[in-house]
């Protein structure tokens, strides 16, 4: 069977594009190829994966990297949770962009071998798939916990963090978005978390708003980085932070989230989220964490260059 050529849309101001594909009736067999590399994470779905001349089973959390013009498709057999859709998170990027990264940064040279192996397809381990999946949910968890922390101490929230994760399905965005009245009552009876009806309902509402936001921007991360402060103090000291106050970008992000229907996202809560996700590094000079946070920001900047 001859595969059809898929046209991948990529914004003019981006090096990659992303699709959050959600299918209630399953992933259909669509034998296709495209000139871009593709990284796909499949969630809540089981079935067959067809890549080139290989056919194999796939399960919830399947993560693969596919090379340019490699024919492929998935064909689902069943959902892991029947009440929820099959999900495919698809990231496309050009070979030229990947090659510029490996040529420009010695730390990325090991990717050359991975990109070469992708010509026939690379299936990643369950552990790596789990790590990617956790990254997908981690920012949502941070933002939710910032909302629950409002008016309370952070130690209270940290001591309840595992209970929160259990109560909110690991902060799986699609699952939380489908919580209903029965779930709200269940959560209000859970002594392991903060039993605040407004904050519980806000978390469910914000999960639904995040589903909408990802359809527009690809991810919460891609959206939030648009609000990175343009200027920062040359030296981060307690005095400098007190003098600066909340940056205008935190207020702008909070305002935009509220416009999109989010709740419990005031400027102070949003700025704490910006700190937690690394969008700003407010660790003061001499703090043992500051260097590590700067290194992580440097890696992100390098990959986005």
For 104-114, write each residue's pLDDT tens digit. 777 777 888 99
Q: What is the pLDDT along the chain (305 residues), one digit of tens a residue?
A: 899 999 988 777 667 787 878 888 999 999 999 999 999 999 899 999 999 999 999 999 999 999 999 999 999 999 998 878 898 989 899 988 888 878 877 777 788 899 999 999 999 988 788 767 766 678 889 889 989 998 899 899 999 999 999 999 888 888 899 999 999 999 999 999 999 999 999 999 999 999 888 878 877 888 888 898 877 777 777 777 777 778 899 999 999 999 999 999 999 999 888 888 778 877 777 777 777 777 666 655 544 44
pLDDT on residue 139: 85
Contact 58, 92 (CB under 8 A): no
Euclidean distance between CA atoms 193 and 260, whole angstroms = 27
Euclidean distance between CA atoms 108 and 126, whole angstroms = 23
Euclidean distance between CA atoms 201 and 198, whole angstroms = 5
What domains are there in the chain, each with its CATH number?
Answer: 4-123 (2.60.120.10), 133-304 (1.10.340.30)
Q: Which residue has the tokens 């999900």?
A: 87
> How many other CB atoms are there within 10 angstroms of residue 17's CB atom?
15
Contact 219, 18 (CB under 8 A): yes
The side-by-side arrangement of strands in the sheet containing 122-123 is: 16-23, 86-93, 37-43, 62-66, 122-123
| β pairing state of 4-5 and 32-33 | parallel
DSSP 233: -
DSSP 279: S
pLDDT on residue 250: 92
Which tokens belong to 271?
């700025």
Return all residues near 284 (Cβ < 8 A) that are at least 6 apart.
236, 237, 238, 241, 290
The 10s digit of each residue's pLDDT in 25-34 is 999 999 999 9
Count of helices and strands (H, E) across the chain = 13, 10
pLDDT on residue 22: 83
DSSP 2: P
Contact 20, 214 (CB under 8 A): yes
DSSP lists the bridge partners of residue 47 as 58, 76
Contact 32, 5 (CB under 8 A): yes
pLDDT on residue 280: 82
CB burial readout 264-290, b (16+ within 10 A) else e = bbbbebbbbbbbbbebbbbbeeeeeee
pLDDT on residue 305: 40
Euclidean distance between CA atoms 191 and 204, whole angstroms = 19
DSSP lists the bridge partners of residue 37 as 93
DSSP 14: -
Contact 199, 143 (CB under 8 A): no
For residue 260, give the 3-state DSSP assignment.
coil
């Amino acid at each position: 069977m001859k595969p059809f050529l898929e046209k991948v849309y990529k914004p003019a101001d981006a090096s990659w594009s992303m699709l959050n594909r959600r299918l209630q009736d399953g992933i259909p067999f669509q034998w296709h190829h495209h000139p871009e590399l593709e990284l796909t994470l499949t969630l809540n779905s089981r079935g067959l994966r067809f890549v080139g001349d290989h056919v194999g089973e796939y399960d919830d959390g399947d993560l693969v990297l596919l090379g340019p013009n490699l024919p492929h498709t998935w064909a689902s057999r069943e959902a892991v949770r029947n009440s929820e859709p099959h999900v495919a998170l698809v990231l496309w990027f050009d070979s030229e962009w990947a090659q510029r990264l490996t040529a420009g940064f010695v730390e990325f040279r090991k990717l050359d071998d991975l990109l070469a192996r992708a010509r026939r397809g690379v299936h990643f381990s369950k552990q790596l798939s789990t790590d990617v999946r956790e990254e997908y949910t981690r920012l949502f968890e941070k933002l939710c916990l910032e909302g629950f922390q409002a008016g309370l101490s952070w130690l209270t929230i940290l001591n309840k963090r595992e209970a929160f994760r259990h109560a909110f399905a690991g902060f799986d965005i699609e699952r939380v978005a489908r919580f209903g009245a029965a779930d709200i009552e269940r959560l209000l009876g859970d002594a392991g978390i903060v039993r605040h009806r407004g904050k519980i309902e806000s978390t469910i509402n914000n999960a639904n708003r995040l589903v909408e936001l990802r359809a527009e921007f690809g991810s919460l991360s891609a959206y939030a980085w648009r609000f990175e402060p343009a200027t920062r103090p040359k030296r981060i000291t307690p005095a400098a932070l007190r003098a600066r106050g909340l940056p205008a970008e935190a207020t702008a992000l909070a305002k935009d989230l509220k416009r999109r229907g989010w709740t419990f996202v005031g400027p102070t809560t949003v700025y704490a989220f910006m700190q937690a996700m690394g969008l700003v590094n407010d660790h003061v000079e001499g703090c043992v964490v500051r260097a590590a946070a700067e290194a992580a920001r440097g890696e992100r900047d390098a990959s986005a260059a």
